[in-house]
Amino acid sequence: MYVGHFAIGLALKARFPRIPTLPLLMGVGFLDILDGLFIIFGWNQVTPNLSAGPYLFFDLTFIDWDHSLAAALLWSAVWAALFFRNRTVAVMAFAASFSHFLADWPMHNADLAIYPFSTTHLGLGLWGKLGTMSWVIEGLFVAALTAYAWRVCAKRGVHLLWPTVAMAIAFLNLSPWLSPMKHVATLNEPAAHLLHGVLVTAGFLLPGALLTWLVNRAEKRAAPAGMTL
């Protein structure tokens, strides 16, 4: 899952408007920010596979250091610890980060280990079973959560036009037809896995930062005095 993670963050922000935006919209991508770095460092392993649809075109051979259940819990706790000064914010930061693992569960092809090097793996495998249709399902998921966030925020006079546009562009960019990963998967190693790692980290770090800024800007235009962004 890709943009679906950001949609979860947007929905959390809409539901809990007094929680700062950054712990939520950066938190939902924290595990993949780490994943890309760990791939670059050689700790995680991915294998080019042009048949691995709908938009990744890589097999996630070993991603246990951030996408196993135990690692997801640990790293989510680390993310939450960054906001320890406010217990409520820390709890929501943990929830945002761990939601990444839960949202990946239906999509991933049984590559989510229980703990690093565990032989037991989770993942319902919608990517492999449904192919392009799994991308469509993710789009419907994104649309539903965005509609919810839009409706809730509109009641406070907060308009989410530009965050919605940004997510739509990101969703189309990582489509089965436009995904840059398809070209990356044709490169020789080590360029293939290194560039894959760079794109994974950048693909969550940059849109997460942009969405945080766009949501904060929308909030500032409508927020009463004292509202926390």
Closest residue by Cα to residue 145 from 169, 163, 130:
163
The confidence score (pLDDT) of residue 92 equals: 99
Task: Please state, in angstroms and rounded to a whole number, the distance separating the CA atoms of residues 168 and 189.
Answer: 32
229 has pLDDT over 80: no
Is the pLDDT at 22 greater than 90, yes or no? yes
Residues 107/136, Cβ–Cβ less than 8 Å: no
165-197 residue pLDDT tens: 999 999 999 999 999 999 999 999 999 999 999
Angstrom CA distances, 117 to 8, 70, 71, 80, 120, stand at 29, 11, 11, 25, 9
Strands 45-48, 58-62: pairing is antiparallel
Say how far apart CA 100 and CA 28 lie, in whole Å.
6
Using H for helix, E for strand and C for coil, what is the string for the chain?
Answer: CCHHHHHHHHHHHHHCCCCCHHHHHCHHHHHHHHHHHHHHHCCCEEEECCCCCCCCCEEEEECHHHHCHHHHHHHHHHHHHCCCCCHHHHHHHHHHHHHHHHHHHHHCCCCEECCCCCCCEECCCHHHHHCHHHHHHHHHHHHHHHHHHHHHHHCCCCCCHHHHHHHHHHHHHCCCCCCCHHHHCCCCCCHHHHHHHHHHHHHHHHHHHHHHHHHHHHHHHHCCCCCCC
Residue with the two structure tokens 């709890």? 91
Write the single-letter amino acid at 93: A
pLDDT band at 45 (very low <50, low <70, confident <90, very high): very high
Residue 175: the pLDDT is 96
Across-strand partners of 113? 121
Residue 224 has a pLDDT of: 60
pTM, to two decimals: 0.95
